[in-house]
Structure 1
Amino acid sequence: MNSFQQFKLLPFIVDALTEKRITKPTDIQARIIPAAMNGRDIIGKSQTGTGKTLAFLLPILEAINPEEQSVQAIVVAPTRELAWQIHEELKSLLVKQPEFIKTSLIVGGTDRERQIDRMKNPPQLIIGTPGRILDLMKVQALFPHKVTHFVVDEADQMLDMGFLPEVDRIAQALPEKLQTMVFSATIPEKLEPFLKKYLHDPRYAEASAEHRVVPKIKHHTIPVRHRDRKELTVEVAKAINPFVCLVFTNTKQEADELETTFREAGLNVGTLHGDMQARRRKQAIKDINDAKYQYVIATDLAARGIDIKGVSHVINFGIPKDLDFYTHRVGRTGRAGATGEAYTLYEDHENGPINRLEERGFTFTHVDVRNGSLQPIKTRKRRTTDRKMKVSQTAHSRMAGEIKKAKKKVKPGYKKKFKYKLKETASREHMQSQRKERREIRKKNKR
C-alpha cells in the first residue's frame, strides 16, 4: 500500500508515485502536505534531497481546477536548471494523465516571443525564473489576477543571487487571497522582512533531528605540493573509479580547462556552468541525469538545488571561497543513507580554510595518489597562521596609532607602509615566539 493515499491524492498521482517507487512520505513531506492542503502558508526549512519539491507540488495539483483556463499557481526558482528540474518532476507526476492540466516552463535564455504566444492559451501552472516571469507580466502576456498558489524555492539562494526584489514585485502583483509557500536551506535575517510581508500565520516545518538523514560522507584532503593541479585531479579521478563523480571548480574558466584535461586523459566527462547557452545547459543536465557521464565538472551553479542522482564521489578542485558552499558541494553525495567520498585539493597556504572547516565539525583524513591509488599520508600540519600572520592586539594598536598620525600628514602610500609594517611586526613577533618555545624546550631537557 502506498502511504501517500492518506493525503487523499488523485488516484493517477498515487499510481505515478508508486511507479517511481515513492511509497512513504519523507519527514518534511509528512509535516507540510496536510497543512498545505488545508490552505496554510508554509515556511519549509530543508536541504536539497529531502523531498520538498513533492511537498509543494502535490498540494498544488490537488487544489488546481482543471476546468479554469487561467494561471492558478506560480513556482519561482533561482536558476533555469532548478526550474527545469521541478518541471520534469511535475511531468513525472502527470505521466498517467498528461492532459489533466496545462503547465509551462518560463525561463530566460529561451525564445521570448514563443513564450508570449504560449500565454494566449494560459497554463494553469507556471514554473520559472523570476526575471522572465516578471517580464511576461510587464508586457501583459501573463495575467496573474487568478493565481491562488505562489511558491518560492531556494529562497536563500534567490537572496544571494539578488533576485529577491524581482520575486517581491511578482508577489505584489498577485491577489491578496493567496497561499504562499517558501522553501529555503537556511533562513537568513535579510529574508525575514519578505516572509513577514507575504506570509500570514505560516506553518513552519523542518525535518526533526531524529528524522534528518545524516550523510555518511568521508572527507579527505590531498596536498597539491607544487604539482599541476589539473593533472593531479585527473590522477585522483582515475584512482577513485567512481559511479558518478562531481568535480567542483571555483570559476567557469577552470571548469572548461579541466574538462579539456579530462578529455585528453580519455575520461568520460561533461560540464555544467553559467556561461553555457540555455539549450546546451538543458541538454547537459539531461545527459547527466541519464548517466551518460562518469565525471561531471561544475561550478557552484550545480551545488544548490540540482539533484544529480547516483553521485558516489565529489572532488573539490579548489576550496570554495564561501565555506558554506563546501556543505552544499559534498551534499551531492551520501544521499538517502548511502555512503559518499569527498576529496579536496589544497596548497600549503590554504590550510586556513581547512582549519575552519574542521572547526565546523568536518573530520578529514589525509591521502595522496601513489602508484595509481590513494594512500594515507602523515597528518596535515595545522598551521596556526593563515595567509597573513596573526598580529598581537598590542602591536596592532600601536601600528594603528602610527597610521592615524600618518593620515593627518596626508602622505601618499601610507596604506602600503602600514601593511608592510604590520607584516614586518608579525614576522618579528612570530620569530620571537618560536625562540621562546625553543628556550622552554631546552630548559626542560636540561632538567
Structure 2
Amino acid sequence: MGFEEATPIQEETIPVVLQGQDLIGQAQTGTGKTAAFGIPLVEKVSGEKEQIQAVVLTPTRELAVQVAEELNKIGNVKRITALPIYGGQDITRQIRALKKHPQIIVATPGRFMDHMNRRTIRLQGVEMVVLDEADEMLNMGFVDDIKAILKEMPEERQTLLFSATMPRPIQEIARNFMKDPVTISIKAKELTVPNIVQHYMEVPEKQKFDVLCRLLDIHSPDLAIIFGRTKRRVDELSEALNKRGYGAEGIHGDLNQAKRDSVLRKFKEGTIEVLVATDVAARGLDISGVTHVYNFDIPQDSESYVHRIGRTGRAGKTGLAITLVTPREIDHLRYIEKTTNRKMERRPVPTLAEAIEGQQRLTVEKLMETVGSDGLTMYKSLAEQLLDDVDSVSLVAAALKMLTKEPDTTPVRLTEEAPLRVGKKKFTDQSRGRGPRPGAAKRGGGGGFARAGQGKGRPPVNPRGRRERDTSRDRAWGRDRD
C-alpha cells in the first residue's frame, strides 16, 4: 500500500491491539489512526468466518465510507470485507449487502441502531468494537446511541476508543464499557504536521473574497479546499467562485448523500479544482493530492484548525495552509497558535499585479509544456505564415495574452458574518442557521434559564432551575443529521 514507516500513533497502538488489550487513543484526523486500528483489526479477523467480527462506529457518512475503503485495501489479500452502513442510503440495499456476510461493519450510530432494531445485524460473533472520533459523535448527539449499542455487544470483546479530546461523557463511556484500557496520547506539538506551511493574512471582511481569488490565481492549486464557517457561507462562496471562473462546488450537512458523493467524486477526479466545505462535512475526508487549504473563515477552535489543515500535507507530501483573519479576530488566532504550539507566519495581502503575474507564469508553463509535446507539425506552416506578417516577439506576446486568465472582478455579494472572539460558543454547520437544537433549553429574558410554566411542551425543570435535556429527542436529532 506504499507504507514505509509507522506514524507515532501506529507505532504505539498496533502492538497493544494485537495483544488483545482495550485501548484509548487520543489522536487527531490525519495522524494515521485508521491504519493504527485497521491493521491489527484485519490481522485478528478471520476471512473464513461468515459473520460480523468487528464493528467500527464513526460520526459521519463520509468517514464511514472512507474507513471502509481503507479496511478493504488492508484486508484485500486476506479476503476480509468491510461494509459501510449509514443514513441516507437505501436500507433494503444495505440489508442485501449484509446477506453477503461482511466480516467488518463500519457504521454511523443512527443507522446501526436501525439495523439492530430490525435484527438485520447479528452481534454474537463481534470480537472487536472501535469508536472512531468519539468526541465528534458526542457533539452530534450520538452518546446515548453508542451506550445502547455497546450494551448489546458481547461482553468478551476488545474495545478501542479514538478521540481528539476526552470530555467527561467520553471518559464515562471508557469507564463503563472498557476493561483496563491502555491510554496512548499524541502530544499537541505532534498534531500540527511539520510539512504543512502555515500562513495568515489580516484582511477586512469585505476584502476577503477578492484576496482569496488573488491567492488562487497566484498559487494555481491542483486541488484546494476552502473552509467556510456555515452552510450559507459555503453555498455563497461556491456560487461566487463559479461566477469568477473557478471550478468549485460546496459540501455541507444539508446535501443529500447522492449530491455529496457526486461532489467528492468530481473533486477526487480533478473535474473541479476547489472544494468549499464546512468543518463537519469535511471531517475525515482523506483525499490525496490536496495541495492547498484556505481558511476563508477562521476556525472555531484549535481542534478544528488542526483538522482543517490536516487535509493537506498527507502521506509525507508538503502542503500550504492560509488563514484569512479580520483585525478583530487576531486574538482568536493567537489563542489557536498557543494551543497548537505552532506559530503562523504573517504574510502581506497579495496585490492585483501579483495575481496577474501568477497567471502569466502558469500560461508560460503550459506553453513550454506544449512546445515539448508531439502534434505541432500541422501548426508550424501556419506559424511560418504568421511570422511573415508579424515579428516573433509580438506573436508570442499575443499568444500569452490570449491564454492568460486575467483576474476577474465580477461583483459578488457575500453575507457578512460576525468575527470570532476567544472563548466564543462553538457552532457547527448543523446548528448554525437552524434555530435551537431539539431538546435544548431556551433562555429567559434575564439571561438565565426559563422557569417552569413559561410556555407549553417544554422539558421539566430540575431543582436547580435548569431544564432536563430530552435525550430521546437528541438521539432522534442525531439520527436525522446522520
Partner of 1:82: 63
Partner of 1:157: 136
Alignment of 1:348-427 (within 5 A): 348-360=327-339, 361=341, 362-373=343-354
CA distance in 1 between counterparts of 2:335 and 2:192 reads 24
Q: CA, structure 1 residues 303+72, in 2 after alignment: closer, same or farther (shift >3 Å)?
A: same
Whether the 8 Å contact between 2:250 and 2:276 is mirrored in structure 1 is yes
TM-score of the aligned structures, taking structure 2 as reference length? 0.68
Q: Does 1:268 align with 2:238?
A: no
Partner of 1:24: 5
TM-score of the aligned structures, taking structure 1 as reference length? 0.73
Whether the 8 Å contact between 2:293 and 2:312 is mirrored in structure 1 is yes
Alignment of 1:30-49 (within 5 A): 30-49=11-30
CA distance in 2 between counterparts of 1:351 and 1:44 reads 32
Partner of 1:182: 161
Partner of 1:220: 199
Alignment of 1:51-200 (within 5 A): 51-96=32-77, 100-200=79-179
Larger RCO, structures 1/2 (Cα 8 Å, 6+ apart): 2
Secondary structure of 1:368's counterpart equals: coil
Q: CA, structure 1 residues 321+47, in 2 after alignment: closer, same or farther (shift >3 Å)?
A: closer
CA drift of 1:101 comes to 3.6
Q: Which amino acid aligns with 1:371?
A: L
Q: CA, structure 1 residues 61+355, in 2 after alignment: closer, same or farther (shift >3 Å)?
A: closer
Taking only aligned residues, the RMSD between alpha carbons, in angstroms, comes to 2.8
Whether the 8 Å contact between 2:302 and 2:336 is mirrored in structure 1 is yes
Q: CA, structure 1 residues 144+225, in 2 after alignment: closer, same or farther (shift >3 Å)?
A: same
CA drift of 1:121 comes to 4.5
Whether the 8 Å contact between 1:216 and 1:334 is mirrored in structure 2 is yes
Cα displacement string for residues 378-428 of structure 1 (whole angstroms, at most 9, x for unaligned residues): xxxxxxxx999xxxxxxxxxxxxxxxxxxxxxxxx999xxxxxxxxxxxxx
Partner of 1:334: 313
Q: CA, structure 1 residues 356+29, in 2 after alignment: closer, same or farther (shift >3 Å)?
A: closer
The runs of 5 or more residues in structure 2 that have no matched partner are: 356-418, 422-444, 448-482
CA distance in 1 between counterparts of 2:49 and 2:420 reads 62
CA distance in 2 between counterparts of 1:60 and 1:218 reads 34
Cα displacement string for residues 83-117 of structure 1 (whole angstroms, at most 9, x for unaligned residues): 000111122224446xx244321110000122234
Structure 1 runs of 4+ with >6 Å offset: 208-213
Q: CA, structure 1 residues 67+358, in 2 after alignment: closer, same or farther (shift >3 Å)?
A: closer
Whether the 8 Å contact between 2:42 and 2:74 is mirrored in structure 1 is no
CA distance in 1 between counterparts of 2:172 and 2:232 reads 37
Partner of 2:224: 245
Partner of 2:469: none
Secondary structure of 1:281's counterpart equals: helix
CA drift of 1:164 comes to 1.8
CA distance in 2 between counterparts of 1:235 and 1:136 reads 49
CA drift of 1:202 comes to 1.6
Whether the 8 Å contact between 2:214 and 2:351 is mirrored in structure 1 is no
Aligned residues: 360
Q: CA, structure 1 residues 307+370, in 2 after alignment: closer, same or farther (shift >3 Å)?
A: same
Whether the 8 Å contact between 1:235 and 1:372 is mirrored in structure 2 is no
Q: Identity percentage over the alignment?
A: 36
Q: Which amino acid aligns with 1:368?
A: V
Secondary structure of 2:206's counterpart equals: coil
Whether the 8 Å contact between 1:249 and 1:317 is mirrored in structure 2 is yes
Q: Does 1:346 align with 2:325?
A: yes
Whether the 8 Å contact between 2:30 and 2:307 is mirrored in structure 1 is no
